[in-house]
Amino acid sequence: MSVTSSELFAYLWPCAGALLIVADQISKSVVLARRPTPANRYGFRPRISVCLNRRTGIAGLPRRYAYLLLIVAAGGSFAAIQMLPLYRLSAEFCLTIALAGAIGNFIDLVRRGAIVDFIDLRIWPVFNLADACIVAGTGGLLWLMI
């Protein structure tokens, strides 16, 4: 019994997405346990620091739009995959990353009542690993569409 590459990737993407979600939740739990404030923020490099920031909405919208935005994003991602049959594996990879980030932030909304952001580059709004995954995944999908 042989396994084709498409069957292998069908099992690989959910595992990769689950690992991203777990890594996101662990990183947020570590930051919440340390509770950094602007007065005692700690940095890794001169321009990167860790501070605690909570937001109750997603994508700049109030929390009550979270479910609607998640449904629209999932539908749009599915439509993008259907439009890209030649780049199906790349599109599935990008979609996995983006959805893992969205699920990570959604877990925060349900579990903690707010999304925990902690990476501060000082030239960009404070974000977290899930936000980075969303941006990378959707950016990759846009790149494939172009």
Identify the H or E element spanning 52.
Answer: strand 48-55
Active site amino acids: 117, 131
Given a contact cutoff of 8 angstroms between Cβ atoms, the answer to whether 8 and 25 are in contact is: no
Gyration radius (Cα) of the chain, Å = 17
In this prediction the pTM is 0.77
User: For helices 5-34 and 88-112, what crossing angle results, to 10°?
Assistant: 30
pLDDT (tens place) for every residue of the chain, 146 residues total: 566 666 666 678 788 889 999 999 999 998 888 876 655 555 555 667 777 777 776 666 676 776 677 777 767 766 766 666 666 777 788 888 988 998 898 888 888 888 888 888 877 788 899 989 988 998 888 888 77
